[in-house]
Amino acid sequence: MTNQLNNFAYGKWIPGEEKGQELVNAINGDFVASASSKGIDFAKMCDFARNIGGPKLRKLTFQERGLMLKALALHLQSKKEIFYNLSWATGATRMDSWVDIEGGIGNLFTYASLRRQFPNESYCYDGDVARLSKNNTFIGHHICVPKEGVAIHINAFNFPVWGMLEKVAVNWLAGVPAIVKPATLTSFLTEAVVKEIIASKILPEGALQLICGSANGILDCVQSQDVITFTGSASTGKMLKSHPRLLQESVPFNMEADSLNCCVLGTDVTTSMPEFDIFIKEIAREITTKAGQKCTAVRRIIVPKNMVEDVQIALGKRLSLNIIGDPNVEGVRMGSLAGFSQLIEVKEKVEILSKTQKIIIGNFENFEVKGANKSKGAFMPPIIFYNDSPFINTDCHNIEAFGPVSTIMPYNTIDDAIELSKMGKGSLVSSIITADNTIARKYTIGAACMHGRILILNAECAKESTGHGSPMPLLVHGGPGRAGGGEEMGGKRGVFHYLQRTAIQGSPSTITAILNQYQQGAKPILKDIHPFKQYFEDLEISETLITEKHTVTLDDIEKFAELSGDKFYAHMDENALDGTIFTGRVAHGYFILSRAAGLFVDAPKGPVLLNYGIDECRFTKPVYPGSSIAVRFTCKEKIEQEKKNPEDVAKGIVKFLVDVYDETGETVAIATILTMVKKRNQN
């Protein structure tokens, strides 16, 4: 590692013009590097992202961007030991680093896989069509296009890898470039990851830039198409959020602030139940993982009054087994805080909290460190308070010591527990450990308005649970109130934070042409060749096959009932129809769909490889014996699929709209089927 970190700006690595902030090893106090952004032109960085990176990303489709993320994830996975070797200097154990490093890479993999939920276009659509006219000649929809700005990510010190990758994975899939500003304290690890990303040449030029020193002044450069995300303290977040430029340009600002998260032990749990051990393990893990330096860490331990002593004893025993020291030494389970500045800050907060509650576990002066000098590293022991009057002594609901510090507090009823959880004024996560689903339901519904995520743990799910403190890529990460009011990740919904949703109105044919997705009522494309005889590349959106007709008979109904075993009274007993909507024995909905398949399927072997499934199916009108049905079979959407290996068949998924109608022209059943279709070009 060099003595001075580099910034990556406007396509090149640039050191700051001065030595800058000194960064030290959190375990032994040794000098690691200095970080400075002096001389870096932030306005030029933003312009470079908007004018170079943005256009290149927007030219790619969601499928291509997803494959880009997958390739990058595989590359970083192959380099992970480089990152582990640096991570220990942040005070992290191997397990802490696993969450940070491989958790971050896992986010890339997850968002890469989400490409399958988007069309093979550079844009997408959202929601369902809005029918705006009586005869369906005028409709509305929503198109979502990438914002033509830059995502500026201002991150916290505690997760220098995950904090970056969990955000950039989302904006890159959306087609937006990023400028990353990690917290300077641990930026040496972020720089190492960015170096590998840039060296891989997987991303287009301008897709990623890095600021290792101060980013003071970058918000002066933002424009309306940019997106700002912030992870860190609530006070800093509020200051940034109120920047005049953000207000002037209406720039989206997503804030994820540290919060006073809580974990509740249900009133049903006793010491003999597995849920009690689960609770103690979960609390101990949350206190010691990353030395308590997590925005999701448990700060408030809410326990039935009659269980406080048992919890204190069990937690004390568990924490007494916790070995603090150099993460490279065998047996060490908790490292240090990320730096001496953090140690000073946590001690100050502990001192304030001590005025209204009592320390029952831990001592700043009396603890052992293995394999390291306690005075040279930013070490501290777990500190557990007890607050016997949490409705009166409220510092525990307002002051957060961002380290291995938490407070046990008693409650009488589950309503009390709900109220205590809300006194944190908004958190990223709450959890409840209970074997009683009635309690779980009451707590979840009662507390949900003040928490971004709620984990319900019991013996049934604990073994596979990812735990209280682990945000998941497919679920929303964020929270109301003190937690910032923001929202990150959340699977597909997170991508929409970087897209502009625009309502579009016009004829079905025009909206079809714009979205490249068939809208009902659009002019059909009629060909002399059957759709099943065409390769993936040859099929056109709106291409429609009008089938022959079939007259439904009573014999059809009885044979289908015998074959399927479905002898529901409406199909079989005409004397049981009084009080129903039916005027006679009615054909099975699934018979109608099956017979429709018999009308539109082309039997001989061709490019169609298989039926992939049904997305939507509705039976909209009863079909009685004597009615005639036919099908409008329309190519609705085409989705590219990549080859899994060189020997794999090149293919894609085609969605067909199956519109079954009767002799009056009315739709009686409608479905979207998916077929796997071979490509003409197998290269």
d(CA 167, CA 160): 12
Which whole-number Å values give the CA distances from 221 to 21, 216, 225, 226, 251, in the listed order?
24, 11, 12, 10, 11
Cα 488 from Cα 475, distance rounded (Å): 9
* Residues 495 and 168 sit within 8 Å (Cβ to Cβ): no
Helix (H) or strand (E) holding 191: helix 187-200
Indicate the helix (H) or strand (E) that contains 281: helix 274-288
Q: Which of 517, 269, 319, 300 is closest to 423 using CA atoms?
A: 300
Whether 295 sits among the annotated catalytic residues: the reply is yes
Q: Which of 102, 166, 191, 256 is catalytic?
A: 256
User: Residues near 88 by Cβ (< 8 Å), separated by ≥ 6?
Assistant: 27, 97, 326, 327, 328, 335
What are the distances in angstroms from CA 376 to CA 31, 340, 370, 644?
A: 12, 9, 13, 51
Q: Compute CA 50 distance to the chain's CA centroid, rounded to the nearest angstrom.
A: 25
Tokens of 412: 């009488």
Burial class (CB in 10 A: 0-12, 13-18, 19+), 312: middle
Instruction: Please identify which residue in the block is written with the tokens 């600002």.
Output: 253
Structure tokens at 170: 């989302």
Q: Which of 46, 295, 396, 635 is catalytic?
A: 295
Q: Give the phi and the psi of residue 318 in degrees, each rounded to 5.
A: -65, -45
> Quick one: which of 283, 284, 370 has its CA closest to 325?
370
345 in catalytic set: no
Find residue 361's DSSP bridge partners: 384
Q: How many CA atoms lie within 13 A of 407 on its CB side?
A: 31
Q: What DSSP designation does 503 have?
A: E
CB-facing half-sphere around the CA of 496: CA atoms within 13 A: 17
CA 336 – CA 338 distance, rounded (Å): 6
DSSP string, 475-538: SEE--SGGG-S--EE-THHHHGGGEEEEEEEE-HHHHHHHHTS--TTSPPBP-SS-GGGS-GGG
Give me the active site residues, please.
256, 295
